[in-house]
A and B are shown apart, each in its own frame.
Chain A
Amino acid sequence: MMTSDSPLLRIEDLVLHFRTSKGSVRAVDGVNFGLDFNEAVVVLGESGCGKTSLARAILRLLPRNVEDFSGRVFLNGKNVMAYKDEEFRQKVRWQQMSFVPQAAMNSLNPVLKVGDQVAEPLIFTRGVSKQEAMQQARHMFQLVGVPEGFLQRYAFELSGGMRQRAAIAMALVTTPELVILDEPTSALDVLTQANIFNVLKHIKENMETSYILITHDIATSSELAQKVAVMYAGQMVEISDAPSFFHMPLHPYSQKLLNSVPRLHGDKEPDFIVGQPPSLLSPPTGCRFKARCPFRFEKCEQEPPMFMKDGRLVKCWLHA
């Protein structure tokens, strides 16, 4: 498997099910993938396919109604799933990996100065002095391109793009090796989006950070992607290097997804995917995409394994 040469992060059989009044929601249902040092992986998929739950499972930021949370997550070769919650908090979260949540711009505390919030993770996790932490926060603000003066301001005084950059600065202040970004630009304008991606690229080059970028915006995801993982109904259906993926995706779902993107250039007419993703309460047996797949055949009644093809992984019988 590809996971063996993924020294920074390796995820094996990760499962996260939620308990609800209607039954168990299988948001993450046996996910395997890996990530190298200074690499950026993009996790693509429609809403409701379990992308955000995957991020929360990796970071162990779980709600109360968890029914099943299992699997192995190796970070730098250590299985951090074996850690107790407190140990995980002290050693892993915001030390080795940090998080930029969805709508991060609205996740800032409105009654604290932005600078104090950005410095806070350092004070809590490393126990450095406030002064030192502020110094580092100032450095991070320079890096993400927000004027230093804004450290003394409140969140409402910043524009959306600046708030998003402040949230990124907060994730970077402890210099983690891995940053998980959940839809970092979905609420932002075109030019602000382009600017945030410039910032992320710059940081990747200068701080050698790795990213897991979770998004449904395929076009902008290509700004960062070195590797693409496509998720469907709680499972990974394709894991591929970015150039091959954007050139020719293997899984029928990935193909449909890429075809649905409106483009500025070229004559290709975008198409939509008929139907909706299945409910995660009772996912279909066999291949989970079969009801929407144009290439469906008898074999699809059985669940396909991950097939290896030209160094890419695809969960589809067409590539058996």
Chain B
Amino acid sequence: MSDTRINHTGIIDLAQLTDSGPTQDQVLLSIQDLQVWFELRRFGFGRAGFVHAVDGVSFDLHEGEAIAVVGESGCGKSTLMKTILGLYRPTRGKVVFEGRDISEMGRQDLRGYRSKVGYIQQDPYGAMAPFMTIEQVLEEPLLINTNLSRSQRMQRIEEVLTEVKLTPVGEILPKFPHLLSGGQQQRVIIARAMMLNPKLIVADEPVSMLDASVRVEILRLLRGLQESHHLAVIYVTHDLSTVRYFSRRIFVMYAGNIVEKALTQDLLASPGHPYTEALLAGTSDPDANNAKTYKAIPPGEPPSLITPPSGCRFHSRCPYAIKGLCEVEVPPEFKLQSEHLAACWLHRKAEV
């Protein structure tokens, strides 16, 4: 199932994208009731509480599946990603990759794990050492993780650069990062993530720093790589309008929790959680009529994660909050359809 969903023009067929299921594929990554808390200290010792950055997140990611995690800054999505990458240790819960809990891995295993997981940073320029040439940037993962000879390494670099369409390779390699345009820098970062043939790519806002005119180009490139290498991709973003061109499923995060999980088309057509609804309402399509109306957006700002609100964390901003229920009890995930779950009491008649 390599390039089937991309036709000759490189355009992704939306219809095919949405009905292709990953069911035949095995679970690659399983997040089980994950909590990542950061301790706050007062004057260096006394404990002042915890930041509940990720607070009870569970999901499965299949081999070759592209999912998107959507949420605002401070909702815990970057902490979740960094925990998946093994940069933070879970406070409770597990990150299981290919059947093994990564927090139980030793140093050597962890190195093996990291070579199977690629990371695409938000700011491509900030992710490269300014004193290293592109050649050095790309060679480094091979030097650390493989025992390829110099000529084999150069061959691999050329292979990957051709794949991310950074050619002529000979001209790119001796350059320093600041000599490349933003789009080219992001391609180098993608190439670096692909260098070790990973099984999973974590892309943290890969296009938010880029010009609108190149965003689509980079998203298409990622999509193409995902298809041809059967990669699992976690695409983290705050921009719902780019998600539908990329991923099969969307997870919406709010204040450390995933509040809605759905297939992309279902979520856009009928959002189940009021927060998702607000996000959709807040996203504009270019239309001159927008200037005539005000946007309906929830009042206030996301809550503090040090003392998260009781019950549903969105209740104080929610236009549909049910008194005596939403602020008291944490809503479970109600099942609206197959593969559409929403943690909201509005759906309390649905099965859990």
A and B interact: yes
Q: Which residues of A contact B (CB under 8 A)?
A: 40, 46-47, 159-162, 189-195, 197-198, 201-202, 216-226, 242-243, 245-247, 256-258, 260-267, 269-273, 276
Asked if A225 meets B242 with Cβ closer than 8 Å, knowing A198-B297, A260-B212, the reply is: no
Asked if A264 meets B287 with Cβ closer than 8 Å, knowing A159-B301, A195-B297, A271-B216, the reply is: no
Residues of B within 8 A of A245 (CB): 288
Asked if A261 meets B181 with Cβ closer than 8 Å, knowing A222-B284, A246-B286, A267-B14, the reply is: no
A272 x B215 contact (CB < 8 A) = yes
A272 x B286 contact (CB < 8 A) = no
Which residue of A is nearest B15, CB measured? A267
**Shortest CB–CB separation between residue A197 and chain B, in angstroms?**
7
B285 x A219 contact (CB < 8 A) = yes
Residues of B within 8 A of A225 (CB): 288, 291
What band does the interface of chain B fall in when counting residues whose beta carbon is under 8 Å from A? Answer: 35 or more
* Of the residues B12, B239, B245, contact of A190 by C-beta under 8 Å: B239
The contact sample of 30 A-B pairs, CB cut-off 8 A, is A46-B213, A47-B182, A47-B211, A161-B301, A162-B301, A190-B72, A190-B240, A190-B283, A194-B282, A197-B295, A198-B294, A201-B291, A216-B211, A216-B212, A220-B284, A221-B286, A222-B285, A222-B286, A222-B288, A222-B290, A222-B291, A224-B291, A247-B288, A260-B215, A261-B286, A263-B241, A264-B240, A270-B216, A271-B216, A272-B213
**Shortest CB–CB separation between residue A78 and chain B, in angstroms?**
29
Residues of A within 8 A of B217 (CB): 272
Residues of A within 8 A of B286 (CB): 218-219, 221-222, 246, 258, 261, 263
Give the distance in Å from the alpha carbon of A260 to the alpha carbon of B244 in the complex: 14
B285 x A265 contact (CB < 8 A) = yes
B282 x A190 contact (CB < 8 A) = yes
In the complex, whether B172 has a CB less than 8 A from a CB of chain A is: no
In B145-194, which residues have CB < 8 Å from any A CB?
Answer: 181-183
B279 x A191 contact (CB < 8 A) = yes
Asked if A190 meets B238 with Cβ closer than 8 Å, knowing A46-B211, A198-B294, A260-B216, the reply is: yes
Asked if A243 meets B288 with Cβ closer than 8 Å, knowing A198-B294, A217-B212, A260-B213, the reply is: yes
B216 x A264 contact (CB < 8 A) = no
In the complex, whether B280 has a CB less than 8 A from a CB of chain A is: yes
Residues of B within 8 A of A265 (CB): 268, 285
B215 x A263 contact (CB < 8 A) = no
In the complex, whether B298 has a CB less than 8 A from a CB of chain A is: yes
**Shortest CB–CB separation between residue B19 and chain A, in angstroms?**
15
| 5 pairs of A and B residues whose beta carbons are closest in the complex | A194-B282, A272-B217, A243-B288, A189-B72, A273-B213
In the complex, whether B322 has a CB less than 8 A from a CB of chain A is: no
